[in-house]
Structure 1
Amino acid sequence: MPRYALLVEYDGRPFAGWQRQADQPSVQGAIEAALARLEPRAHTIAAAGRTDAGVHGRGQVAQCDMDKDWDPFRLSEALNYHLKPAPVGILACARVDDEWHARFSAIERRYLFRLLMRRAPATLETGQVWRVNHDLDAEAMRAGAAHLVGLHDFTTFRSVMCQAKSPVKTLDEIRIDRVEGPAGPEIQFRLRARSFLHNQVRSIVGTLERVGAGAWAPERVAEALDARDRAACGPVSPPDGLYLTGVGYPEDPFS
């Protein structure tokens, strides 16, 4: 069966997450339903990351196995046609080796979190940003984030429901920038690692927001990390504003 890599963009708001749900809409379910319109049978696809309810995708990567040897462009066009009106788009499609796997072949995941600072409601960007009604100190947050870069036991910053075998992960980068977004000033967090624990990004962002607001000293982030205790974590940010922006592979299947 020919295998294809799919570069997927989606608005996470209408979905209960990436993973197929028995009684709720999911991104995986929407794509599998579109595939079944092309080849009428049950389809099971895999993705690089199982994003939670409300989390968006700008560079999610998935794989599908087809009976027919499809031209990749025609497959992406046909999927986009049958995905309507769901807010899911196939940005690119490529034929890959049978051994290639969207999840297990990946060597890097990249996330963006957008935090909007203004008192008025987000209105046009509802669900696309986390709005706070106070200003944040980006430099203080960078100082706090510095304690998290590298190889650590991230027990404090993972959900109690996380199914990962080990809480030890290497966080390669946290970049924090203050930018002028379309709706006002934003703090944008960009995180990069081979893999992430469940709720790790949202736990880190929520904790760093407390640093930026002056409620936590930057050094308290190191203390929370060292505690290896979920109770030591700051508030967990909402999914609004979180995007899976890219997945890295030894060779880019879409290049």
Structure 2
Amino acid sequence: MAPPNTQKRVKGVSIFRPFVYGTTAKPFDPETNPKPEGTPADHTHSWTVFVKGVDDTDITYWCKKVQFKLHESIPNPLRTIENVQPGEAYEVHETGWGEFEITIKLYFVPESQEKPQTIYHHLRLHPYGNTEAEKEAMKTAPEIISWCYEEMVFNEPYENFYDVLTSPMDRSKGGKGGMGKGTRVMKGGMVGSVGERTALIPLTSRPGQPFSRETERNELRRLREAQHKVDEMISELKKEIEEKEAERAKLKGQA
């Protein structure tokens, strides 16, 4: 029997850690992506499902292992990945022909004493787009990327886990914890540390790393433009309705 938990939670504190999860798929091609020997004849793509830090930052100090539940038709559909190096991804490589939902379960380090958290992701093998230009661009894309940005929030973590999350030192080398150099206390009790252990995302995007403050700004601008367009459409529709109502009233008066 496990010993009773005598730790206290750090009240009034929430610590978040961003990460990225998703899939990357490549259609088989004799030149750019040849089919490995022994691959079933009906398999059309190679693909990877992963969980990693934003901008490849280390998440192993809070995420101990990741379990991926694949489609039951795939041999050994339950894959558990652990003992990855800091900065590397928890990932599974496979081949196939069909899309399906992947269950992803994140297990935290023992200091957290928290239950695993489950997320879901749809494996995407084929390009999708809203406009003809997007569809054409995706047809020639070397990879089909379906990535998601997410934040794991630890509300009032236990003292030892709080120490792990906020210490910039390498715990695997026996470093002592605490609010060390590089720790940043944010508004509302949010805590993030700079350096190797960070809750910040990059200022600008770069190839292979699409999530950044720049991406966020561009998305907000796109949403504002879409909202403006919707407002214009609503205004035009109201004007058209008013004109139709006036015409109906006129015809009714002549009857």
The alignment's TM-score, normalised by the length of structure 2, stands at 0.28
Based on CA coordinates, which of the two structures has the bigger radius of gyration?
2
